[in-house]
C-alpha cells in the first residue's frame, strides 16, 4: 500500500550585491598659460580641496578624492578629464524553503528526484530574488550619483574659476607691472589693472 509523504528542503544563499555607476566629463580650462603650468595650477587647487594622487609614485598624474559612501572623483590635471564613480556593496543572506509530496511507491529514487527538483527550484527563486535586490541597489546607486553631480558641478565650476583667475594673474604679471587687482568671487569676476 502506498503512502504519500512530504519532503521539505531549505536553502540559504549568501551573496554580495554590487552596484556601480560612473560619469565622465572634461573640465574646460582656457589656455592662458602653457599646458604644464595650467595642469600645475589645477593640481594645486584640487590638492587644496582634498584631492590626493591616485599613484603616489606619479605625483603629476591623476588626483582623486574618495568618500566613505563609495563616491570617488578622479581628475587628471593634464587632460582635464573628470571621472565620477559610485560603488556600493551589500552582503545579503536569503533563506527559503519548499515542500513537495512524494509517494512511497516511488521509492528512494523518487524521493531523491523530488528533493533535487525542490532544491533546484528554490535556488532559482533565491537567485532571482538576489537579482532583483541587485537591480534595486543599482537604481539606488544611480539615483545617488545623479544627486551628487549637482553639488560636484558647483565645486568644479569654482575650481575652474580659481585656476582661471590665478592663470590670469600670472599672465598679467608677465605682460607688465600689476597696479591693482580686484576680485568678486560671488560673480566670478576679476579686474586687473596693468602698467605696461
Write out pLDDT tens, residues 152-189. Answer: 999 999 999 999 989 988 888 888 888 888 888 777 77
Cell of 132: 532583483
What per-residue confidence (pLDDT) applies to 53? Answer: 92
Q: DSSP secondary-structure letter at 42? A: H
Ranges of the chain with pLDDT below 70: 1
The domain locations on the chain are 4-195
Residue 57 pLDDT:
81
Per the CB < 8 A criterion, the answer to whether 72 and 152 are in contact is no
The pLDDT assigned to 81 comes to 95
Q: Is residue 188 exposed (0-12), middle (13-18) or buried (19+ Cβ within 10 Å)?
A: middle
Which set of grid coordinates corresponds to residue 79?
Answer: 587632460
- Stated pTM of the model: 0.75
pLDDT at 95: 94
Q: What are phi and psi of 25, to 5 degrees?
A: -155, -175
pLDDT tens digits, one per residue of 126-141 = 999 999 999 999 999 9
Structure confidence at residue 1 (pLDDT): 58
| Confidence (pLDDT) at 62 | 94
DSSP strands (E only) in the chain? 4-26, 52-53, 63-66, 71-75, 81-103, 177-184, 189-195
Q: Which residues pair with 88 in a beta bridge?
A: 19
Amino acid at each position: 500500500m502506498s503512502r504519500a509523504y512530504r519532503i521539505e528542503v531549505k536553502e540559504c544563499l549568501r551573496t554580495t550585491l554590487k552596484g556601480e555607476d560612473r560619469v565622465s566629463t572634461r573640465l574646460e580650462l582656457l589656455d592662458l598659460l602653457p599646458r604644464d603650468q595650467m595642469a600645475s595650477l589645477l593640481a594645486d587647487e584640487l590638492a587644496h580641496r582634498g584631492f590626493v594622487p591616485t599613484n603616489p609614485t606619479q605625483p603629476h598624474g591623476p588626483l582623486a578624492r574618495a568618500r566613505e559612501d563609495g563616491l570617488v572623483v578622479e581628475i587628471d590635471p593634464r587632460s582635464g578629464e573628470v571621472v565620477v564613480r559610485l560603488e556600493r556593496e551589500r552582503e545579503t543572506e536569503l533563506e527559503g524553503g519548499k515542500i513537495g509530496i512524494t509517494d512511497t511507491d516511488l521509492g528512494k529514487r523518487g524521493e531523491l528526484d523530488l528533493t533535487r527538483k525542490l532544491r533546484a527550484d528554490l535556488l532559482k527563486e533565491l537567485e532571482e530574488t538576489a537579482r532583483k535586490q541587485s537591480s534595486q541597489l543599482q537604481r539606488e546607486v544611480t539615483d545617488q550619483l545623479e544627486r551628487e553631480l549637482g553639488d560636484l558641478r558647483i565645486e568644479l565650476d569654482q575650481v575652474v574659476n580659481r585656476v582661471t583667475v590665478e592663470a590670469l594673474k600670472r599672465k598679467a604679471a608677465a605682460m607688465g607691472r600689476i597696479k591693482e587687482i580686484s576680485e568678486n568671487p560671488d560673480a566670478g569676476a576679476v579686474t586687473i589693472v596693468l602698467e605696461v
